[in-house]
A and B are shown apart, each in its own frame.
Chain A
């Protein structure tokens, strides 16, 4: 049965009434109008729906609402400072690091988590951090370059 939840979402409190077992993905997309988090597989295997939960990337499709009560949730829309792009997003634009762009949100989320704990990753550390995100178009190398660019720009 539906319950009322207060979510700490992108730095603000958002209220939602839903069944506690509802996957966070559908609450975000359909109730909270944050549609940058995307459905890919529904079983946490592709990364298209990754969000940060207390700073860790997690599949929103496989995360029930009850489990995120009281935790910090960050979606792709909330990666940057309010209303602005995250440096990673600027780097993705500079590198034109996408083809279809459907996996992009989830990749950005994984990359943001990586840079938060390891601001100067090596290329292989970037690849390892993105291994849970699937890309079908073959834009991997561009995305890796964009992450390294964002890391380098943050140092200067």
Chain B
């Protein structure tokens, strides 16, 4: 029996899911089913986890089948977020599979009548004394019905044969062939189509609704209402969409309160909690102050803007509900569905199905409740709901707007001796499963509405609004304050890298401003304040790779650098951006050096880093959620342009592999440093500092005029 103290030390997700049978099942035909609670979001995680399992079991990767997460059979690993899947699920699987291999070797040895040490084992087939058997012959169902013993040592990294090599993604053959693979492609027998009708700007109260026109559309079966929740059931998707249009123009909603005109000023006025998250006092060093700088930075609301709108399917069999969802957290979704629908959790199964790219808490959970509400009205027929593009822009949570103010002092030698960082933001998470009230859109609009939970911040060191607000640099005095704003004029929640994007943009822009004042090269200025050898290594590597020392000084061109260690506990990433500024900013090239510890799938890491850097380029140059007087005023791509193929920079990545150090996630490392590198490059090109994102032509002209 393990003691409480042992249990607390369990690795990764073994803490909550300690039984071996929760992770692994071996079939007689040599197929190995691996269960993970982490889900495929387009980031390639299931391929990386399969590599880890195959490595520890000592079997071919092709034998491993990753089972899509399902609340009825998968380990509960919370949410697939925060670049934690390799740490949570990968670490647990490594331990579980190491133990499983030890158990299998014992079984095999008994069957062949030799000690384990005399076995020759290759891909699950063992030979000794002229006889052979396999893992699959020896693995009965009871073998894994025990707790994972972590005393069994996993393979040392120097013996790895699969981890550390690029493995092709297991989901891509379907996706590239155009075969049905996404949740949007799922078809259930007898399935109906649903849509939900919501007001154009924020929810208030439904005053009147004329259903007649919608109901007259052929194929429309019902208009489903519960308070201000209005849904359609139809036997074709075309009819459901037509009815949604008809109902939108036949509904009148009470007008809501106007939005604040200047959202960043409003944030500063409405903070209710002021938390000092770092307060370092190096006695006496303030006396050396020779010059003090201040600067104020901002970031707008940003949309997830996935190419495929949110989708879910739901169906009742008797009083049991099954929901198909591309949620990042199927167990948390199940919990909030049970609250919203007033059903026992045990009566609900949530199955993950792959969706379009997911970059945080988007509409996936909300549309699952939409589908479940409509399925309840549909009797025994399942219902598919897909949001339209304008549903997605208007109703999915946004990444929060933020304001950051910095003040720092230099001594006579140009060293930072004092640093102050103040940030103002809403919370960065209003995910399901974390409040007494369901965090699902439709639940707040019912005749008996549930209360909308506020977005909150997770604690440090990972943090949320304050993610990466504490500088990694070694400053003798520093004070960092997180000013939390609870009231949400716009619904906010987690978007890739959370507060790190704005905080790193601000810190790294300001480091360049300070370097300029001190008359020191920006890379050298960072290095002189940085002791962490892995941090220094990525900066030095990127400077070398991007030929920083020999950078050109052409008119209208500039280079800039940015650096961060994601969450201050994750991946190290340094970026050099090269830009050309004419009537708008063009990023020509991004060079990145990255250290994620042990690299499981190098091509997967490169894909994630490059994707993060390009998405951040899009955020940084173009993106802000347009706000009208009453709410979000983006309805389509014309209101929310993103980076196009012809605007995407060349991207070069240097991976610094550290096989003996633990793996950390790669999906969110590049966003903050890329933004800062671009802003610094713009300053380098124009001699003008733009501190408000995005770096649009209007912002740049305004900055030039201010000078």
Interface residues, chain A, with chain B CB atoms under 8 Å away: 19, 22-23, 26, 29-30, 35-43, 45-46, 48, 75-77, 85, 89, 92-93, 96-105, 108, 124, 126-128, 130-131, 133-144
Determine how close the nearest CB of chain B comes to the CB of A18; give it in whole angstroms.
8
Q: Are B309 and A40 in contact, with the CB atoms below 8 A?
A: yes
Q: Shortest distance in angstroms between B85's beta carbon and chain A's nearest beta carbon?
A: 15
Shortest Cβ distance from B172 into chain A, in angstroms?
6
Known contacts A45-B636, A134-B637, A141-B650; is-contact A30 B237 (Cβ 8 Å): yes
Q: B389–A42 contact, CB under 8 A?
A: yes
Question: B175, A40: Cβ atoms under 8 Å?
Answer: no
Contacts of B154 in A (CB 8 A): none
A134 and B307 form a contact (CB under 8 A): yes
Tell whether A137 pairs with B180 under 8 Å between CB atoms, given A96-B168, A98-B175: no
With A85-B177, A102-B357 as given contacts, are A138 and B309 in contact (CB-CB < 8 Å)?
no
From A30, A38, A48, A131, B644 is in contact (CB under 8 Å) with A131
B357–A136 CB distance below 8 A: yes
B603 & A45 in contact (Cβ 8 Å cutoff): no
Contacts of B307 in A (CB 8 A): 40, 46, 48, 100, 102-103, 134-136
The answer to whether A138 and B610 touch (CB under 8 A), given A36-B178, A99-B44, is yes
Q: Which of B271-279, B396-404, B612-620 contacts A (4 or more CB under 8 A)?
A: B612-620
Contacts of A100 in B (CB 8 A): 41-42, 175, 306-308, 354-358
> How many angstroms between the C-alpha atoms of A143 and B644 in the bound complex?
13
B637: nearest residue on chain A (CB-CB)?
Answer: A45
Residue numbers in B under 8 Å from A76 (CB-CB): 177-178
CB contact between B611 and one of A37, A39, A89, A99 (< 8 Å): that residue: A99
B177 near A139: Cβ-Cβ < 8 Å: no
Interface pair B650/A138, CB less than 8 Å apart: no
Interface string of B310-330 (1 = CB under 8 A from A): 000000000000000000000
Whether B660 is near chain A, meaning CB under 8 Å from some CB there, is: no
For A21, give the chain B residue with the smallest CB separation.
B238
Task: Find chain A residues with CB under 8 A from B158 CB.
Answer: none
Q: Which of A38, A93, A143 contacts B308 (CB 8 A)?
A: A38
Residue of A nearest to B306 (CB): A136
| Complex Cα gap A99–B172 (Å) | 8
Q: How far is the CA of A142 from the CA of B612 in the complex (A)?
A: 14
With A30-B237, A40-B389, A141-B610 given, is the CB distance from A98 to B172 under 8 Å?
yes
Contacts of B642 in A (CB 8 A): 134, 136
Q: Which of B171, B386, B607, B646 interacts with A139 by CB under 8 Å?
A: B607
Kindly provide the distance from the CB of B192 to the nearest chain A CB, expressed in whole angstroms: 12
**Residues of A with C-beta under 8 A to B615:** 136-138
Min C-beta distance of A97 to chain B, whole Å: 8
In the bound complex, do residue B645 and residue A144 qualify as a contact, i.e. CB atoms below 8 Å apart? yes
Identify 25 residue pairs between A and B in the complex whose beta-carbon atoms are under 8 Å apart, listed by A's number: A22-B238, A39-B309, A43-B637, A85-B176, A89-B176, A92-B172, A93-B172, A99-B611, A100-B175, A100-B306, A100-B356, A100-B357, A101-B171, A102-B306, A127-B646, A127-B648, A128-B645, A128-B646, A134-B642, A136-B356, A136-B615, A138-B615, A138-B648, A140-B648, A142-B607
Inter-chain CA distance A92–B642, complex, in Å, is 23
Distance between Cα atoms of A141 and B646 in the complex (Å): 10
Bound form: Cα–Cα A89–B177 in Å: 7
Q: How far is the CA of A17 from the CA of B171 in the complex (A)?
A: 34
Closest CB in chain A relative to B268 CB, distance in Å? 31
Structural contact, A26 and B238, CB atoms closer than 8 A:
yes
Q: Which single member of A26, A42, A93, A102 contacts B182 (CB below 8 Å)?
A: A102
Is the CB–CB distance between A93 and B176 below 8 Å?
yes
Q: Which residue of B lies closest to A37 (CB)?
A: B178
List the interface of chain B (C-beta within 8 A of A): 41-44, 168-169, 171-173, 175-182, 184-185, 187, 236-238, 241, 305-309, 354-359, 386, 388-389, 603, 607-608, 610-615, 618, 636-638, 642-646, 648, 650-651
A38:B182 contact, CB within 8 angstroms: yes
A113 to chain B, nearest CB (A): 14
Q: Indicate if the CB atoms of A36 and B180 lie closer than 8 Å.
A: yes
Contact (Cβ within 8 A) A41 B389: yes
Assess whether B42 is in contact with A101, with CB atoms less than 8 Å apart.
yes
Residue of chain B at shortest CB distance from A109: B178
Q: Quick one: closest A residue to B178, CB to CB?
A: A36
A92 and B176 within 8 A (CB): yes
For B646, give its contact among A105, A131, A143 (CB under 8 Å).
A131
Q: Which residues of A contact B172 (CB under 8 A)?
A: 92-93, 96, 98, 101
User: Are B386 and A138 in contact (CB-based, < 8 A)?
Assistant: no
Is A41 touching B636 in the complex (CB atoms < 8 A)? yes
Q: Contact at A93–B168, with CB atoms within 8 Å?
A: yes
When C-beta atoms are compared, the residue in chain A nearest to B616 turns out to be: A138
Q: Which residues of A contact B357 (CB under 8 A)?
A: 99-100, 102, 136-137
Which residues on the B side are within 8 Å of A103 (C-beta)? 307
**Distance, CA A104 to CA B618, complexed state (A):** 19
Tell me if B238 and A99 are in contact (CB < 8 A): no
A25 shortest CB reach to chain B, Å = 9
> Which chain A residues border B171 with CB–CB below 8 Å?
101
Give the chain A neighbours of B168 by CB distance below 8 A: 93, 96
Q: Find A43's partner among B177, B308, B636 (CB 8 Å cutoff).
A: B636
- Chain A hits for B607, CB < 8 A: 96, 99, 139, 142
Contacts of B614 in A (CB 8 A): 138, 140-141
Nearest B residue to A106, CB-CB: B307
Complex CA gap A36/B309 in Å reads 15
* Listed residue (A19, A75, A100) with the most chain B CB atoms within 10 angstroms of its CB: A100
Question: 9 closest Cβ contacts across the A-B interface?
Answer: A36-B178, A100-B42, A101-B175, A138-B614, A138-B611, A76-B178, A100-B357, A102-B356, A41-B389
Give the residues in chain A near B308, CB-CB below 8 Å.
38-40, 48, 100, 102
Q: Are A46 and B176 in contact (CB under 8 A)?
A: no
Q: Which residues of A contact B184 (CB under 8 A)?
A: 35, 38-39
Looking at A134, A138, A139, the one whose CB has the most chain B CB atoms below 10 A away is A138
Find A42's partner among B358, B388, B613 (CB 8 Å cutoff): B388
How long is the Cα–Cα vector from A139 to B293 in the complex, in angstroms?
39
Among B44, B173, B177, B356, max chain A CB count under 10 A is at: B177
| B-chain residues with CB within 8 Å of residue A99 when the two chains form the complex | 42-44, 357, 607-608, 611
Distance between Cα atoms of A112 and B356 in the complex (Å): 22
Check if A137 sits within 8 Å of B42, measured CB to CB: yes
Distance in angstroms from B561 CB to nearest chain A CB is 20
Pair A39/B636 contact, Cβ less than 8 Å: no
With a cutoff of 8 Å between Cβ atoms, the chain A residues found around residue B236 in the complex are: 26, 30
B-side contacts of A128, CB under 8 Å? 645-646
CA separation between A82 and B359, bound complex, in Å? 36
Taking A19-B238, A134-B637 as known contacts, 19 extra A-B pairs with beta carbons closer than 8 A to each other, sorted by chain A number, are: A30-B238, A35-B180, A38-B184, A39-B184, A39-B309, A41-B636, A42-B388, A85-B177, A96-B169, A96-B607, A102-B182, A102-B355, A127-B648, A134-B644, A136-B356, A137-B611, A138-B614, A139-B611, A144-B645
> How many whole Å from B131's CB to the nearest CB in chain A?
41
- From A37, A38, A126, name the one whose CB has the most chain B CB atoms within 10 angstroms: A38
Q: Contact check, B648 vs A101: say whether CB atoms are below 8 A apart.
A: no
- What is the distance, in angstroms, from A115's C-beta to the closest C-beta of chain B? 15
Q: Among the interface residues B168, B636, B646, which one has the most CB atoms of the partner chain A within 10 A?
A: B646
